[in-house]
Amino acid sequence: MFQNISPTVVINGTLYVLLVFSVVTWTLVIFKSWQFWKNSAWNRSFNEVFWNVASLTDANALPESFFRGPQARIARQGLTWLAESRQSSGKHLKFYGTPGELLEQSLLVQMQKEEHLMESGLTVLASISSTAPFVGLFGTVLGIMHAMHQITASGSTSLDVVAGPIGDALIATAVGIAVAVPAVLAYNFFVRRAKLHRVGLENFVVSFMHAALSPDVQGKE
């Protein structure tokens, strides 16, 4: 089926696909590095101020521009829920139930949204790391098939005739591996960072729950 296709077209097409994979990989590496760094800086800045206020009422009075970053958005969600819960006075079905459990559910929903944002793009890295070697191997196999047909047509089995076409075909496999390795390393690195990020969010949710449900804090509001 592929006999009428030029081997140059096959190999070049494979290399272009791998080039796209490489560009996507390094774009994601740069973006995810910036995203993790930015969120870590915002979380540190937010924690320094948020946990030093006297009450949740004072925290709610902080400027809206202050609520940047994953933990800040979770805190905003919790503060909003507390305010709506007090105003509803049991008039809305979504506030029926144990306040602690309902608040925890609201915080966990927001935390899941933040986790989804942090994990976005990792599936692409995983897909590239697993498919790039096979794309390169596909180009190599087709290149070798064409090389064999050329060798058969020429009737010569000398090293000069065999080595050149097969060597060119193997370039696709080498490039495929070269593209896959950074994608694998980046994927493993960002998965580890995402897990640490998730632990930080879980700890923040627990701390916020303690603060919101503490009798001392509620007495100040």
Largest CA distance in the chain: 94
Task: Say whether pLDDT at 115 is over 90.
Answer: yes
In a domain, 192, yes or no: yes
Q: How far apart are CA 77 and CA 209, in angstroms?
A: 12
Compute the average pLDDT of residues 8-22.
Answer: 85
63 located within any domain: yes
Residues 6+ apart with CB under 8 A from 110: 73, 74, 77, 78
The pair of structure tokens assigned to 39 is 């969120």
Rounded-to-integer distance, Cα 6 and Cα 145, Å: 11
pLDDT in tens, 132-171: 999 988 888 877 777 776 667 666 556 565 566 677 678 8
The yes-or-no verdict on residue 184 having pLDDT over 90 is yes
Instruction: Kindly state whether residue 102 falls inside one of the protein's structural domains.
Output: yes
Closest by CA to 140, choosing from 164, 167, 172, 163, is 172
In the predicted structure, residue 216 carries a pLDDT above the cut 80: no
- 205 lies in which domain range? 12-142+172-220
Residue 202 corresponds to which amino acid?
E
**Count of positions (residues) in the chain:** 221
Residue, of 49 and 167, whose pLDDT is higher:
49
- pTM (2 d.p.): 0.80
**How many angstroms separate the CA atoms of 196 and 187, rounded?**
14
Let me know if residue 64 belongs to a domain. Answer: yes
Whether residue 206 is contained in a domain is answered as yes
Looking at the domain assignment, is residue 73 inside a domain?
A: yes
Q: Are 124 and 221 in contact (CB under 8 A)?
A: no
Is there a domain that residue 3 lies in?
Answer: no
**Residue 201 is assigned to a structural domain of this protein:** yes
| Total tally of structural domains belonging to the chain | 1
